[in-house]
Amino acid sequence: MKNVIRKFIAVLILINFSYILCAQNKIWTVKACVDEAIAKNVLLNQNLLSSEINKINLEQSKANKYPNLNLSDNQNFTSGRALDPVSYQFLNQNISSNNISLNSSAAIFIGLQNYYTVIQNRYNYDAGNLDIEKAKNDLTLAVVAAYLQILDFYESIEIAKAQVEGSNAQVERTQKFVDAGKVPIGNLYQLQSQLAGDKYSQVNAENQLILAKVALMQLMELPVSYDFEIERPQLAEPDLAVANTSDEIYKTAEQNQPQVVSAGVKISSAYIGLKIARGGIYPKLSLTGSLKTAYSDASRLISYQTGGQVQTIGYLQSNPSDYVVGYVPSTVVQKNEYPLGKQFKNNFNQFIGLSLSVPIFNNYIVKSNIDKAKINLQSVQLDELNTKNQLRKSVEQAYTDQLGASKQYTAAKEQQKAEERTYTDIKIKFENGVVTATDFIIEQNNYNKVKQALIQAKYNYIFKIKVVDFYLGKPLAVL
């Protein structure tokens, strides 16, 4: 049994260690980077909370259409001469009283303001969600750009490493020739200097890679870790053909970009806001009702007992000594304790009423609200126009950048082919002693510059394609 427990514990430890190791060596895909950045971005999460508030406002405006219902219970204590709230008699004693009421009110007509408020809050909620989508798109575009920058530096490092290896091989080869007395030692010094420069370029490229990773981790709100690695997909050769025109891209973007849709929704909201403001000029009709009862310890249950007796009521005028007798009625008032339950029952009353309010003059408040709503409508209309203009300019810029990047990439490829032929020819001549080390190093540096320029042109063009694809509504987090 002990062996089984030990094996079980060992397996748990192994699984936990494997999990930690995998977590530390996680390879981040571009989609994972985008998802992480969206999940942890503080401003974006604040916008999500604002959207929740808009949703609550929407639900509340729907609930405002229904009558309210409130129960109130007031316990009062008075002393000295005071009015009994139940019997409405002035008494000079301590009084303890209790009033219970159930009240309700409902707006029958208030210029359709409740109805339009529901519509406006729905527009506000939709516009807020569209603004969140815009923020997500901007963040995604930034993450993709940082991701491609890292891929660019990875390839730059590979070229730098290859250059160091080539320069090192040339140094070793030249060292043998110098030892054999076939070439002057100056050639060796030049190649060693070139090797040192190539190593510096490699270190610089590695530093640039680290900085690019830091930039991406900061976008993802991750603490900087030097074990951070991304997936390095084999990117297909980018298509040099630009299929769409700038106008076609803009028309598509105008339909799918959330900031444009949001601007249109905000215009609808402002238009409804104007209707809400105009609702203030109409009369308002409301219905109220209540159920009430009360209790007072000063109240007494009064009863009356009527009786009578034979009494002398007069005498004869002709003979004053001759008395007249008759039956005289009498009433005895008795005050007894008035029970709580009986008071609540006997004091119970109902009330229902209609209230009409006709606005005649309210210090121009309604007029001011209408004027402000009109100005707000004009403002959001200008915002929509500005949003569309900014989108058009961004699309035109993206389209122009893509055309320029395509031409630059094509020229870089052609330049590399030509420079590669020249470099191969110079290299053969140098190895055969036909050209000097200086000429070879100059050509080698030119060749490396061309290769670096091709890499930069490639990833710059890929990113420009992604920007245009973004405006065409294609997914960004796919390379």
pLDDT in tens, 143-169: 999 999 999 999 999 999 988 988 888
The closest of 117, 473, 457 to 276, measured between CA atoms, is 117
Q: Which residues contact 181 (CB under 8 A, 6 or more apart)?
A: none
pLDDT at 204: 93
Residue 332: the pLDDT is: 65
**pLDDT single digits (tens) 393-440:** 999 999 999 999 999 999 999 999 999 899 899 888 888 878 888 888
Write down the pLDDT at residue 324: 67
pLDDT in tens, 90-137: 777 787 888 899 999 999 988 899 999 999 999 999 999 999 999 999
- What span, in angstroms and rounded, lies between the C-alpha atoms of 115 and 278? 13
> Could you tell me the CA-to-CA distances from 348 to 77, 290, 335, 351 in Å, in that order?
21, 11, 21, 10
User: Hey, what amino acid is at 479?
Assistant: L
Give the chain's mean pLDDT. 86
Domains contained in the chain, number: 1
Select from 450, 472, 438, 23 the least CA-distant residue to 228.
Answer: 23
CB-based contact 296:106 (threshold 8 Å): no
* CATH at 116: 1.20.1600.10
The total number of residues shown for the chain amounts to 479
Please say if the pLDDT value at position 281 is more than 70: yes
The Cα 451–Cα 474 span in angstroms is 31
For residues 328-349, give the mean pLDDT: 78
Residue 85 belongs to a domain: no
Q: Please check whether residue 121 lies inside any domain of the structure.
A: yes
Residue pair 154/281 in contact by the 8 Å Cβ criterion: no
The answer as to whether 74 is a domain residue is no
**pLDDT average, residue stretch 179-194:** 85
Domain range for residue 379? 28-40+110-282+359-471
Q: Which of 60-74, 76-90, 246-260, 415-429 has the lowest mean pLDDT?
A: 76-90
**What's the confidence (pLDDT) of residue 245?**
87
**Residue 295 domain-assigned (yes or no):** no
How do residues 197-212 score in pLDDT, each as one tens digit? 889 989 999 999 999 9
Mean pLDDT of 240-261: 88
Q: β-strands 229-230, 27-28: how paired?
A: parallel
d(CA 44, CA 143): 14
pLDDT at 343: 82
| Residue 296 domain flag | no
Within 181-324, where are the H helices? 185-219, 246-256, 258-278
Whether residue 13 is predicted with pLDDT greater than 50 in this model: the reply is no
Residue 10 pLDDT > 70: no
Instruction: Check residue 333 and give its pLDDT.
Output: 65
The 10s digit of each residue's pLDDT in 56-71 is 999 999 999 899 999 9
pLDDT at 341: 83
Residue 334, in any domain of the structure: no
**Strand 300-315 relative to strand 323-337, pairing:** antiparallel
Report whether pLDDT(334) > 90.
no
Looking at the predicted structure, is the pLDDT value of residue 1 above 70? no
Please check whether residue 420 lies inside any domain of the structure: yes
Q: Taking residues 375-381, what's their average pLDDT?
A: 96
Q: Percent of the chain, pLDDT > 90?
A: 53
- Is 131 among the domain residues? yes
The pTM score is 0.78
